[in-house]
């Protein structure tokens, strides 16, 4: 009996282990695991989950490719191709399951519903505009303005969206629009080129004016500096002339006084520098003689005559003694 109970217990444990291994799965990082609790959809945060009581959904984006045959004002056909991608909205998983069902294809079904809604929005946009006013940028902006309703109605959020192409269904209208757009671009290019040329001409004119003003200001400064230098040179010349006049006046005054002294004392002529230089120069001549001529009036009471007489007497006495 004990062996029987031991085998039974081991078998029971093995069955439980196999059941756990069969039922539970490891949650991958890019997978959302949903479960129902009290009629609401919630997310499992644990590493393991029971596969029969859970719904794993990949968090990767789901691509959207959509071709819409819309009409513009005037019932003109327009073909629009959209490309984009959607992903589960984490804050509205309840609506995702309601739209896509309790299935691993819930995101794909919600993406289909999103494509249908996008088609309706594209038609709304084109019907309100003339065919010449349609643009890819305007359509994308219009769709992005209504992107919040995808999360509210389908439980997905719009990750990316772009207009692959937008052109009239009629080939002639498409060709006419292309020619019109080409003409508009050429006109815009020419206008921009003209603006660039005008701007360059204005810039050159302003630069020339600034250069001319700077050159004029420089010439004025040069003239002012030259005038100041001339005034300074004139002042220096005037000062030199005045100093020269003062020196000449002093020299004339000195010479006048000297002449007055010599006039009153003629015997001092011998002591003048001119007489000394003359005597010195005459000593170098052969047979040079120094002759001094005095008038009888100058001889009377002249100290110079007494000096010469004494010198002559001493010279005669020295000759006799010798």
Q: How far is CA 48 from CA 45, 90, 94, 228, 293, in A?
A: 9, 20, 22, 100, 155
Say whether both 71 and 152 belong to one domain. yes
Smallest CA-to-CA distance from 98 within 152, 158, 146 is with: 152
pLDDT for residue 14 is more than 80 = no
In angstroms, rounded to a whole number, what is the distance separating the alpha carbons of residues 141 and 160? 12
Say whether both 44 and 104 belong to one domain. no
Pairwise pLDDT comparison (168 vs 193), residue with the higher score: 193
Say whether both 91 and 156 belong to one domain. yes
Is residue 267 domain-resident?
Answer: yes
Q: Which of 18-32, 128-142, 198-212, 276-290 has the lowest mean pLDDT?
A: 276-290
How confident is the model over 222-264, as pLDDT tens digits? 999 999 999 999 999 999 999 999 998 888 888 788 777 766 7
pLDDT for residue 203 is more than 90 = yes
How confident is the model over 80-127, as pLDDT tens digits? 999 999 888 888 888 888 888 877 788 888 889 989 999 999 998 888
How many domains does the structure of the chain reveal? 4
Say whether both 154 and 179 belong to one domain. no
Say whether both 81 and 160 belong to one domain. yes
Radius of gyration of the chain measured on its C-alpha atoms? 64
Helix (H, G, I), strand (E, B) or coil at 149: helix
Residues in the chain, total: 322
pLDDT for residue 303 is more than 90 = no
Say whether both 158 and 72 belong to one domain. yes
Strand order in the sheet with 156-168: 62-72, 76-88, 156-168
The last residue of one of the domains, among 169, 188, 214, is: 169
Structure tokens at 252: 């004339």
Residue 294: pLDDT band (50, 70, 90) is low
Say whether both 133 and 105 belong to one domain. yes
In angstroms, rounded to a whole number, what is the distance separating the alpha carbons of residues 322 and 318? 6
In angstroms, rounded to a whole number, what is the distance separating the alpha carbons of residues 99 and 107? 9
Is residue 99 domain-resident?
Answer: yes
Say whether both 92 and 133 belong to one domain. yes
Q: Which residues contact 63 (CB under 8 A, 6 or more apart)?
A: 83, 84, 85
**Whole-number pLDDT of residue 295:** 59
Is residue 86 domain-resident?
Answer: yes
The last residue of one of the domains, among 148, 169, 190, is: 169
Structure tokens at 114: 């999103």
Is residue 290 domain-resident?
Answer: no
pLDDT for residue 166 is more than 90 = no
**Whole-number pLDDT of residue 35:** 73
pLDDT for residue 31 is more than 90 = no
Q: What is the residue range of 200's domain?
A: 171-227
Say whether both 165 and 175 belong to one domain. no
Is residue 247 domain-resident?
Answer: no
Percentage of residues of the chain with pLDDT beyond 70: 72
**Whole-number pLDDT of residue 81:** 92
Is residue 111 domain-resident?
Answer: yes
Structure tokens at 187: 């006109």
Is residue 25 domain-resident?
Answer: yes
Say whether both 164 and 67 belong to one domain. yes
Q: Looking at residues 139-150, what average pLDDT do you find?
A: 88
Is residue 232 domain-resident?
Answer: no
The last residue of one of the domains, among 169, 197, 213, is: 169
**Whole-number pLDDT of residue 301:** 55
pLDDT for residue 32 is more than 60 = yes
Smallest CA-to-CA distance from 137 within 145, 71, 78 is with: 145
Say whether both 64 and 51 belong to one domain. no
Phi, then psi, of 121 in degrees rounded to 5: -65, -40
Q: Which residues contact 98 (CB under 8 A, 6 or more apart)?
A: 155
Say whether both 104 and 201 belong to one domain. no
Q: Looking at residues 173-199, what average pLDDT do you find?
A: 85
What's the whole-number average pLDDT of the chain? 78
In angstroms, rounded to a whole number, what is the distance separating the alpha carbons of residues 65 and 80? 11
Q: How far is CA 26 from CA 18, 47, 209, 285, 320, in A?
A: 15, 6, 80, 144, 163
In angstroms, rounded to a whole number, what is the distance separating the alpha carbons of residues 200 and 204? 6
């Amino acid at each position: 009996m004990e062996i029987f109970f031991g085998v039974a217990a081991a078998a029971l444990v093995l069955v439980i282990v196999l059941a756990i291994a069969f039922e539970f799965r490891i949650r991958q990082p890019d997978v959302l695991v949903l479960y129902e609790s009290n009629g609401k959809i919630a997310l499992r945060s644990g590493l393991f989950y029971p596969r029969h009581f859970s719904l794993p959904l990949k968090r990767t984006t789901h691509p959207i490719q959509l071709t819409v045959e819309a009409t513009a004002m005037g019932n003109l056909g327009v073909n629009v191709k959209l490309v984009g991608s959607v992903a589960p909205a984490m804050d509205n998983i309840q609506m995702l399951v309601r739209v896509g069902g309790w299935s691993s294809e819930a995101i794909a079904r919600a993406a289909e519903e999103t494509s249908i809604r996008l088609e309706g929005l594209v038609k709304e946009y084109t019907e309100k505009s003339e065919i010449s006013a349609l643009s890819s940028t305007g359509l994308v902006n219009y769709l992005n303005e209504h992107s919040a309703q995808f999360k509210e109605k389908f439980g997905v959020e719009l990750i990316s969206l772009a207009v692959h192409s937008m052109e009239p269904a009629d080939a002639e209208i498409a060709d006419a629009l292309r020619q019109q757009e080409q003409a508009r671009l050429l006109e815009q290019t020419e206008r921009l080129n003209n603006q660039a040329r005008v701007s360059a001409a204005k810039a050159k004119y302003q630069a020339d004016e600034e250069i001319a003003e700077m050159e004029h200001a420089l010439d004025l400064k040069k003239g002012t500096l030259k005038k100041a230098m001339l005034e300074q040179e004139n002042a220096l010349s005037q000062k030199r002339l005045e100093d020269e006049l003062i020196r000449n006046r002093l020299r004339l005054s000195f010479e006048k006084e000297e002449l007055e002294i010599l006039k009153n004392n003629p015997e001092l002529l011998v002591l003048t520098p001119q007489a000394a230089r003359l005597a010195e120069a005459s000593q170098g001549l052969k047979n040079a003689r120094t002759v001094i001529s005095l008038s009888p009036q100058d001889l009377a009471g002249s100290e110079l005559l007494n000096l010469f007489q004494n010198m002559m007497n001493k010279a005669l006495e020295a000759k006799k003694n010798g």
